[in-house]
Structures are given as structure tokens and as C-alpha cells.
Amino acid sequence: MSALTIPPLIRRNIALFALSQSFTGAGIQFAFGFGPLMVIALTGSASLSGIFVGLLGLSRFFVAYPIGRITDRHGRKPGIQLGLALALAGAVWVGVAMAMLSFVGVVLGALLFGMGYNASQQLRVAATDMVPPQRRAEALGYVALGTVAGLILSPLLASLGERLAAATGIAPLAVPWLLLPPVMITGMVLVALVRPDPMQIGLDLSRYYPGLPPVPARAAAPADFSVWVMLRDPRTRLALVANAAAQGNMSIVMVLTSLVLAHHGHSLTAIAFAQLFHSAGMFAFTIPLGRLADRIGHDRVMLPGVALALAGAAIVAFTGAFWSVTLGAFLVGIGWAAANVAATAFIADQFPTEQRGRAIGVNESGAGATSVVMALVTGPLLEFSGLPATGLFSVLVALPPLAMFAALWMRRSPVAS
């Protein structure tokens, strides 16, 4: 049992990462909750409403693998801190651009913020570095749970921003972004307190977990990683597609939720609270989901998660009541959490510490590419075909991994465990 008991030093590091997430995660709630409204306010077109969320996905696609390469070579903390610094600069940029009613400025700021925030998510890789394989999904759950505190900060900052906007005359959608820097700096300080670098722990796990067999040395491991070899494994392909499908499904629902609530006249604070329910589904249950995935197998959590996201998207699109829409978004959040935690933990198990940043970077890039496509498709679908067509599309997005699993099962081929 000593090989599976997390020692105090590593518990402290995981807690610091989780707390950092609570401070840095408030900005991503603004991005998803207010981003579509900012685009409509600046362009007057609902068909462009998915651009802000699409930019986040685009930045994720471009930055995930390069930042993974950096952290594989230089350690996790430098990459995480670089990401947080870029996100802080991007938040200020977005706020200033929105105050100046500059659409181009908002686009550039969103790209910078997205690259920084997504780069900082290497802290998820750091969490998997510090624990043995039997507890990796659970460790991811603890880090993700830290985002829940950020969900509380988001509506508080939005409410304060509305009051300051009324007093100063600055655009209400700009002020919350300008309140983020002190919060994000606190997150950077917490990351700085993590010691030693999680990659050093991952390279010598047996030093921290008595009874755990030492990891064999691998000569020139950083050069051994190959995306094509990674994609040839059907189990890894299934995990990649499941995570991407859940991300795409969620991207559609997050855009829809903000637009529907704004259409019915709800305030920015009310929208932030509604997004809180969705985000609570994403993060509040990550620890039990992680433990369950570690215990019964990653595929047995990952695939039901995709199916749950599918059902939630249908509820959002095909019902009109406020609480049913909120419930559907909440279910999409839980489904995404199950798929993401299980898929990420499975991929982390397949690669050594020296390659894990790039492997998970490939997973994040796939999710980012899917998010771009889904966010850009959502606006035109919504404007020209309405909610039912958009909802049907979000359901279809979740089908590929389920079809892949069915094909594997019929061939009686082993799947992720």
C-alpha cells in the first residue's frame, strides 16, 4: 500500500496546483460566457458568435504540442508560468480592446489569452508526473476540482465589473477582464511554490513511493516520441477521439447557453451564474470520476461520459425552459469531465515522463482543433437553421467515439483500460 499512498510533499504540490487553477480559471469562464456576447456587440452578427470560443480552440491547437515539447525538455513549471504570463497579458489586452470597441483588438487578445491559458494546462501533465499509474485519473480530478473555486470568483468579478462599468462608463463587457490580473498573479505565485519540479518527481517515482518499482532509464527518450506511432494504437485513437468529441460537443453547448440566456434578457451576472452550473458539472465531480476510472477502467468512464454529453446537448437544444437548458448544460459538463479525465489519464499511462508532455499535447491539440470547427459552425447553424439543427449537430459530434468503440467491441479487440 505504501506504493500507492500519496506522500505529504506531493499532496502539497497537487493542492498548490489546484489552488492555482481556482485563481486562473475565472478568466476562462469569461471567455466562454462573455466571448460570444462581445463578438455580437462588436459585429452585430449572431453568425459570428462562435469566433471567440473558436479562437480559444485555435490557440489550443497551436500551443499544446510546442508547450509539451518545452516542458518535456525544461520541466513543467517554466512552461506553466510562461502560459500564465501570456494569459495575464491577453486578459488585459481583451479588456482594453473591448473598452475601445475594437473587434480586431479583441481577436488578437483572445488568441494571446487562449495560448497562455492552454499552455498553463501543462499543470495537468505535472499532476500525472507525481503519482503512480493507479492514481493518475484521481490526481487529475484533484487539480480540476480547483477550478470550482474559480467558478465562484467569476460571477463575483462579473457583478463587481457591472457596478464599475456603470460608475465609469466603460463597456460592461470590458471591465471584468481588467479585474483579472491580481487574481492571475496569485495563481502564478502558487505555482512558484511547487517544489521540486514535478518532472523531477516523475523521473524517480520510487524515491517518493516506497515499494514502487523504479522506472527503467530510457536513453534519448525525448527524441523517441512519434505522433504516428501514437495514432497507430487503436486504444489511443479511441481516447483521442472521445476527448475531442466531448470537447466539440461542449463548445457548441457553451456558445448556445450564453446566447439563449442573453436573448431572454438575462444580465451578465445571471449568465455567469448559469455558466457556473455548467462548469460545476465539468469540475465538481472530477475526483470521484477519476477514482472510478482508476478502479474500473478508463473506457468504462470515458465512453459513458461521451454518451451523457450527447444527452445533455439534446436537452439544451430541444427544450426551451430555463432550468431544462441549465440541466442539459450541467450534464454536458459532467460528460466532458468523465471523458477528459479518463482519456487524459489513459494517454499519460502509455508514455514515459520524458514524453508525456508531448503525448498529452497531441490530445489537447486534437480537442482544440475540434473546438475551432464546432465553435465556428455553431453561429451560422444557429442563425440560418435555428436551435434544433444546432442541437442535432451537437448530438452527431458525440457519435464517432461510440461508433469506434462498437466496432472494436464487435471485433473483440481490447480497448482502453
* 219 part of a folded domain: no
Structural domain boundaries enclosing 120: 8-210+226-410
* 1 part of a folded domain: no
* Phi/psi at 80 (5° precision): -65, -45
285-317, pLDDT tens digit by residue?
A: 999 999 999 999 999 999 999 999 999 888 877
Contact present, 126 and 198 (Cβ < 8 Å):
yes
* 415 part of a folded domain: no
| pLDDT-based confidence at residue 416 (cuts at 50, 70, 90) | very low
Query: Cα–Cα distance between 371 and 60 in angstroms, integer?
Result: 9
**Number of compact structural domains in the chain:** 1
Contact present, 373 and 87 (Cβ < 8 Å):
no
Q: Which CATH number do you get for residue 195?
A: 1.20.1250.20
* 215 part of a folded domain: no
Per-residue pLDDT, averaged over 234-239, amounts to: 94
Query: Cα–Cα distance between 9 and 28 in angstroms, integer?
Result: 29
| pLDDT-based confidence at residue 30 (cuts at 50, 70, 90) | confident
Query: Cα–Cα distance between 377 and 399 in angstroms, integer?
Result: 17
What does the pLDDT read at residue 417? 46
What does the pLDDT read at residue 412? 61
* 310 part of a folded domain: yes
What does the pLDDT read at residue 358? 94
358-394, pLDDT tens digit by residue?
A: 999 999 999 989 988 886 777 777 777 766 777 788 8
Per-residue pLDDT, averaged over 21-34, amounts to: 82
Query: Cα–Cα distance between 396 and 388 in angstroms, integer?
Result: 12
* 119 part of a folded domain: yes
Contact present, 115 and 55 (Cβ < 8 Å):
no
* 390 part of a folded domain: yes
What does the pLDDT read at residue 269? 66
240-278, pLDDT tens digit by residue?
A: 999 999 999 988 887 777 766 666 666 666 666 767 788
Contact present, 79 and 67 (Cβ < 8 Å):
yes
What does the pLDDT read at residue 351? 93
79-119, pLDDT tens digit by residue?
A: 999 999 999 999 999 999 999 999 999 999 999 999 999 99
Average pLDDT, the chain: 86
* 416 part of a folded domain: no
